[in-house]
Structure 1
Amino acid sequence: MRREYRLRWTFFIVGLVVLAFGVALTIKGKVFGIGPWDVFHYGLYKQLGLTIGMWSIIAGIIIIISTWIGTKTPPKIGAIANMLLLGIFIDIFNALLPTPEAFAVQLTFFIVGVLILGFGISLYVSANLGAGPRDSLMLLIVEKTGWSITLVRNGMEITVFLLGWLLGGPVGIGTIFIAFFLGKIIQVTLPPCQKWLAHLLEKGQVNPHIASEKKEII
C-alpha cells in the first residue's frame, strides 16, 4: 500500500512538472496564442502584476473555496497540491526558459509545448488522486444543473477566454488549436500512462504462492 501511494504521488507530481513545462513553452510561443485558462492568468498578470503562476494559484484558491461551499465537502489533497504546485512550477519554467524571437523557434516552442502539456495532464490524471480545482468546479456545475460535461467545460473555457482577452491576454490561432486538439492528445496518451502505472503497481506485488513457498523454506 505504501509503495502504491509513493508511485501514485510520483506520477502526480511528475505529471504536474511536465504539464507546467508545457504551459511555459506555450507562453514563450504566445504569438500563436495560449490556452483559455492561461489567457486569463496572463491577462491578470499583465494588468495587475504578480506572476502568471501566482494568478493560477489565486484562481485555484477561489475555485476550491467556491467548490467547497457548493459541495459542503472539503477539497481533496490532490486538488490542493495541484493548485499550489502547478503555479509554482509554471513560474520556475517561465524564469528558466529563454524568450525566442525567431518565428520558427516560437512555433516549435508552441507545438512541443502543447504535446508536452497533454502528456503531463495524462500523467497526473492517471495517478487518480483527485480532480484539479477547475475540473472539480466543472463537476459541481454539472451536478447542480444537469448540463452535460462538454457544455459546462466549453462554457467555462469560453468565459475565462473572453475575460482573459478583455484583460489583454495573448489570443491567436494557437488558442483554437489547443481547444480542439488538447483533448485528442490526452485521449492518445492517457491509456499508456494508466497501463504504465498499473504495470509498475503489479510489478511490486508479491505472488501469494511464492510468498507461501518462502515461508515453507524458512
Structure 2
Amino acid sequence: MNVKQGFYWRCVFFITGIIILSLGVALTIKAQVLGVGSWDVLHIGLQKNFGLTVGTWSIILGLIILAIDALLTKRLPKIGTYLDMFLTGIFIDIFLYMLPDLHHLFEQTLAFIVGIVLLGFGCGMYMVANLGIGPRDTLMLLLVHRLGWTVNRARTTIEVTVAIIGFLLGGPIGVGTVFMALGLGPVVQWALRLNEKLFFRASGTESAIL
C-alpha cells in the first residue's frame, strides 16, 4: 500500500474517531445528573455563567492551552491537534442539539454507559491515526516535561483542578465523574488495541504508535 493510501486511512480513523468520541461526550452530558467528565464539569460551569455552548468553551479552552504551550515550548502543535480541537467542539454541539433530553434515571444511566464506551472507543480510534493529540493531552505532557511529573500525577492534578473550578461555577459533579476518572483509562486501552488491529487490516500498515 502506498503512502497516500496509508495517509487516507489515518484521516478516516482520525475523523471517525473524533465523531464517535464527540457522540460519547454528548451522551454523558445528556446524562449529567450522574456527573460528567472533569473537563465537561468546567465547560458546563462556564456555559451556565457566561453563555455560549459547551463545544464553544471546549474550543476556547483548547486555544488557550495551545497558546500557552506554544509560548513555553517555542513550537506549534501538529495540524491534527487543531483539527481535533475544532472538530470535537463542533460535533459535541451538533450531537447535543440532535439528542433528546433524558428525564428518567434508567435512560440517563444507559446513555452514560453507552457514552463512556463510545468516548473511549473514539479516543482509541483517533489516537491510532497518530495525526496529533488534543490540547488537554498537550497540557498534560507540558507538565510532565516542565515539572518532571509522572503522566499519572499530571493527569490527576489537571482532572481534579478543572473539576473543582467547574463545580464552583455550577458544573455537575457526581458518581459518573469519579467513574470516568477511574474507568475511562481501561476503556481507552482496550479500544487502542482493537483499533490498532482494525487499522492494520484496513491499511496494511502498522500505526506509528505501535
When the two structures are superposed, what TM-score results if normalisation uses the length of structure 2? 0.95
Q: 2:184 aligns with which of 182, 192, 202?
A: 182
Partner in structure 2 of residue 43 of structure 1: 45
Considering only CA atoms, is the larger Rg found in Structure 1 or Structure 2?
Answer: 1
Which 10-residue stretch deviates more, 87-96 or 97-106? 97-106
Partner in structure 2 of residue 108 of structure 1: 110
> What is the rounded CA distance, in whole Å, between the counterparts of 1:110 and 1:199 in structure 2?
31
Could you say what the CA RMSD is over the residues aligned between the two structures, in angstroms?
A: 0.9
Q: 2:129 aligns with which of 122, 127, 132?
A: 127
> What is the rounded CA distance, in whole Å, between the counterparts of 1:200 and 1:100 in structure 2?
37
Q: 1:191 aligns with which of 187, 190, 193?
A: 193
Stretches of structure 2 that go unaligned for 5 or more consecutive residues are 206-210
Q: CA deviation at 1:3?
A: 1.0
Q: CA deviation at 1:192?
A: 1.1
Q: CA deviation at 1:70?
A: 1.2
When the two structures are superposed, what TM-score results if normalisation uses the length of structure 1? 0.91
> What is the rounded CA distance, in whole Å, between the counterparts of 1:74 and 1:16 in structure 2?
21
**Matched residues, number:** 203
Is 1:91 aligned to residue 111 of structure 2? Answer: no
Partner in structure 2 of residue 139 of structure 1: 141
Stretches of structure 1 that go unaligned for 5 or more consecutive residues are 204-218
**Residues 6-41 of structure 1: CA deviation (Å, up to 9, x unaligned):** 110110010000000000000000000000001110
Q: 2:79 aligns with which of 65, 77, 80?
A: 77
> What is the rounded CA distance, in whole Å, between the counterparts of 2:62 and 2:184 in structure 1?
21
**Residues 124-151 of structure 1: CA deviation (Å, up to 9, x unaligned):** 0111112111111111111111110100
